[in-house]
A = this chain, B = another copy of it.
Amino acid sequence: MRPSGRQLNEMRPVSIETGFTKHAEGSCLIKVGDTHVLCTATIEDRVPPFIKGTGLGWVTAEYGMLPRATNTRMRREASSGKQGGRTVEIQRLIGRALRAGVDRVALGERQITVDCDVLQADGGTRCASITGGWVALRLAVNKLMKAGDVHIDPLLDPVSAVSCGIYAGQPVLDLDYPEDSEAGVDGNFIMTGSGKLIEVQMSAEGSVFSRDQMNELMDLAAKGAVELAEMQKAASK
């Protein structure tokens, strides 16, 4: 019934190739089906002004799409002179999500910037960015710990994200683009490896939904979160 032939509660194949670029302190190319995102983590000693001198660390994120990551070419944001509303919204979400999984005292007064650049898009780019972004973050933190710059692990539990929605009247896990563009209701669920919630965003443009539907989607998301956490751990060992 799903265009891809997947089961209702079946995710797309996921692969995470670490060390995709040589300069970043942590990097991976995450593929969730045909959605491919290059995630890099950069460690810097400077922190934003509002936490200077507090001893706390900071994690932030930026998001971008290559102009032809999509079916028709989108205008390059660098050339149009500003990041669009969607981009701003997504990168703020990624940053909040990753920070929720960080012990900022243990990280110490430094900043890690996670860049998520979509090379190819097929639905769920923000979720792939969070899942892959955490792996890049994990690798960068590993480097800090190996170097003795950080002593207590500031990352306790993986942070991942998955989308769910009502497609053709059925709750489905991990929407691809054909599903996403049809679904009346969908949501992004950001969770920890141990099943705690970090952020839930459900939305129904031009429609409404019930609490029962919401609960069905949350059940699917919980299943996805467990699977993603396993892959994140395996990739970033």
Contacts and interface: CB of A to CB of B under 8 A. Distances in A.
Nearest to A184: B100
B200 A201 contact: yes
B68 A99 contact: no
Interface in A112-162: 113, 115, 117, 119-121
A197 B218 contact: no
A198 interface: yes
A161 to B, nearest CB: 13
A206 interface: yes
A202 interface: yes
A69 interface: yes
Interface of A: 20-24, 27, 34, 36, 38, 40, 42, 44, 62, 64, 66-71, 73, 76-79, 81-83, 85-89, 91-92, 96, 99-100, 102, 104, 113, 115, 117, 119-121, 187, 192, 196-211, 214, 218
27 contacts: A21-B36, A21-B68, A23-B69, A24-B68, A40-B67, A40-B68, A42-B73, A62-B76, A67-B115, A68-B115, A73-B113, A78-B82, A78-B83, A81-B81, A85-B88, A85-B91, A88-B89, A96-B205, A100-B207, A196-B209, A196-B210, A197-B202, A197-B204, A197-B208, A198-B209, A199-B201, A201-B202
